[in-house]
Amino acid sequence: MLSSTDEIERFKQVEAKLNENQKVQKLIQKIKTLQKQAVNFQAYGKHEALKKVDEEIERLQNEIDEIPIVQEFKETQIVVNDVLQLVSGTIAREVTNRVIESTGGDILSGETGSKAKNKIGCSH
Protein backbone atom coordinates (compact mmCIF):
# COMPACT_ATOMS: atom_id res chain seq x y z
CA MET A 1 0.00 0.00 0.00
CA LEU A 2 2.34 2.73 1.23
CA SER A 3 5.31 1.30 -0.65
CA SER A 4 3.51 1.80 -3.97
CA THR A 5 2.74 5.52 -3.64
CA ASP A 6 4.19 7.84 -6.26
CA GLU A 7 6.51 9.42 -3.68
CA ILE A 8 7.92 6.07 -2.56
CA GLU A 9 8.29 4.83 -6.14
CA ARG A 10 10.19 7.99 -7.06
CA PHE A 11 12.44 7.55 -4.02
CA LYS A 12 13.22 3.95 -5.05
CA GLN A 13 14.10 5.04 -8.60
CA VAL A 14 16.38 7.84 -7.44
CA GLU A 15 18.04 5.61 -4.83
CA ALA A 16 18.78 3.01 -7.51
CA LYS A 17 20.38 5.68 -9.72
CA LEU A 18 22.40 6.92 -6.77
CA ASN A 19 23.67 3.42 -5.99
CA GLU A 20 24.64 2.94 -9.64
CA ASN A 21 26.57 6.23 -9.82
CA GLN A 22 30.24 5.27 -9.70
CA LYS A 23 31.46 8.78 -8.88
CA VAL A 24 29.18 8.98 -5.85
CA GLN A 25 30.13 5.49 -4.70
CA LYS A 26 33.86 6.25 -4.97
CA LEU A 27 33.45 9.46 -3.00
CA ILE A 28 31.44 7.65 -0.32
CA GLN A 29 34.14 4.98 -0.07
CA LYS A 30 36.84 7.66 0.29
CA ILE A 31 34.83 9.32 3.06
CA LYS A 32 34.38 6.02 4.90
CA THR A 33 38.12 5.35 4.74
CA LEU A 34 38.90 8.85 6.00
CA GLN A 35 36.36 8.49 8.81
CA LYS A 36 38.17 5.35 10.00
CA GLN A 37 41.45 7.27 9.91
CA ALA A 38 39.84 10.10 11.86
CA VAL A 39 38.76 7.69 14.60
CA ASN A 40 42.31 6.37 14.87
CA PHE A 41 43.85 9.85 14.88
CA GLN A 42 41.43 10.92 17.60
CA ALA A 43 42.17 7.82 19.69
CA TYR A 44 45.92 8.48 19.50
CA GLY A 45 45.67 12.23 20.05
CA LYS A 46 46.94 13.15 16.57
CA HIS A 47 45.11 16.48 16.49
CA GLU A 48 46.79 17.99 13.41
CA ALA A 49 46.28 14.84 11.35
CA LEU A 50 42.68 14.66 12.57
CA LYS A 51 42.08 18.26 11.52
CA LYS A 52 43.41 17.59 8.01
CA VAL A 53 41.31 14.44 7.63
CA ASP A 54 38.19 16.24 8.88
CA GLU A 55 38.79 19.02 6.34
CA GLU A 56 39.17 16.47 3.55
CA ILE A 57 35.97 14.70 4.63
CA GLU A 58 34.13 18.01 4.55
CA ARG A 59 35.54 18.81 1.09
CA LEU A 60 34.46 15.42 -0.26
CA GLN A 61 31.02 15.76 1.35
CA ASN A 62 30.58 19.13 -0.33
CA GLU A 63 31.63 17.58 -3.64
CA ILE A 64 29.03 14.84 -3.22
CA ASP A 65 26.35 17.38 -2.31
CA GLU A 66 26.93 19.19 -5.62
CA ILE A 67 26.11 16.11 -7.70
CA PRO A 68 22.56 16.42 -9.14
CA ILE A 69 21.48 12.84 -8.32
CA VAL A 70 22.51 13.38 -4.68
CA GLN A 71 20.47 16.58 -4.53
CA GLU A 72 17.50 14.76 -6.06
CA PHE A 73 17.91 11.89 -3.58
CA LYS A 74 17.89 14.30 -0.64
CA GLU A 75 14.75 15.97 -1.99
CA THR A 76 12.94 12.64 -2.39
CA GLN A 77 14.05 11.67 1.13
CA ILE A 78 12.38 14.78 2.51
CA VAL A 79 9.15 13.99 0.65
CA VAL A 80 9.16 10.37 1.87
CA ASN A 81 9.84 11.50 5.45
CA ASP A 82 6.90 13.91 5.21
CA VAL A 83 4.64 11.08 4.01
CA LEU A 84 5.81 8.84 6.85
CA GLN A 85 5.23 11.59 9.42
CA LEU A 86 1.72 12.09 8.08
CA VAL A 87 0.96 8.37 8.28
CA SER A 88 2.51 8.10 11.75
CA GLY A 89 0.52 11.06 13.03
CA THR A 90 -2.70 9.67 11.60
CA ILE A 91 -2.13 6.28 13.22
CA ALA A 92 -1.28 7.85 16.59
CA ARG A 93 -4.36 10.05 16.48
CA GLU A 94 -6.65 7.13 15.59
CA VAL A 95 -5.21 4.91 18.33
CA THR A 96 -5.65 7.70 20.88
CA ASN A 97 -9.24 8.28 19.76
CA ARG A 98 -10.04 4.55 20.04
CA VAL A 99 -8.60 4.44 23.56
CA ILE A 100 -10.63 7.48 24.58
CA GLU A 101 -13.80 6.02 23.04
CA SER A 102 -13.25 2.62 24.66
CA THR A 103 -13.12 4.24 28.11
CA GLY A 104 -16.28 6.25 27.51
CA GLY A 105 -14.31 9.46 27.20
CA ASP A 106 -14.72 12.58 25.11
CA ILE A 107 -12.63 12.73 21.94
CA LEU A 108 -13.16 16.47 21.50
CA SER A 109 -11.70 17.27 24.92
CA GLY A 110 -9.13 14.48 24.64
CA GLU A 111 -10.13 13.03 28.01
CA THR A 112 -10.59 9.37 28.84
CA GLY A 113 -13.72 8.24 30.64
CA SER A 114 -11.96 7.89 33.99
CA LYS A 115 -10.56 11.41 33.78
CA ALA A 116 -13.97 12.86 32.93
CA LYS A 117 -15.58 10.97 35.84
CA ASN A 118 -12.96 12.12 38.32
CA LYS A 119 -12.94 15.74 37.23
CA ILE A 120 -13.43 18.21 40.02
CA GLY A 121 -16.23 20.57 39.13
CA CYS A 122 -15.56 24.28 38.83
CA SER A 123 -17.28 26.50 41.36
CA HIS A 124 -18.11 29.90 39.88
C-alpha to C-alpha distance for 2 and 25, rounded to whole angstroms: 29
Is residue 78 assigned to a domain? Answer: yes
The answer to the question of residue 56 being in a domain is: no
Residue at 81 is within a domain:
yes
Number of domains composing the chain = 1
Computed from CA positions of residues 41, 43, 46, 52, in that sequence, does the dihedral angle turn out positive or negative? positive
In whole numbers, what is the pLDDT of the chain averaged over residues? 92
Query: Is residue 22 a part of any domain in this protein?
Result: no
49 in a structural domain: no
CB 43 within 8 A of CB 83: no
Report how far residue 28's alpha carbon sits from residue 73's, in angstroms, rounded to the nearest whole number.
Answer: 15
Length of the chain as a residue count? 124
pLDDT tens profile 54-94:
999 999 999 999 999 999 999 999 999 999 999 999 999 99
Query: Where in the sequence is the domain holding 107, given as residue range(s)?
Result: 68-123
> In the prediction, which pLDDT does 89 show?
96
In-domain check, residue 61: no
pLDDT 10s digits, 97-120: 999 999 988 888 888 888 767 775
pLDDT band at 121 (very low <50, low <70, confident <90, very high): low
> Is residue 118 in a domain?
yes
The pLDDT of residue 27 is above 70: yes
- In-domain check, residue 98: yes
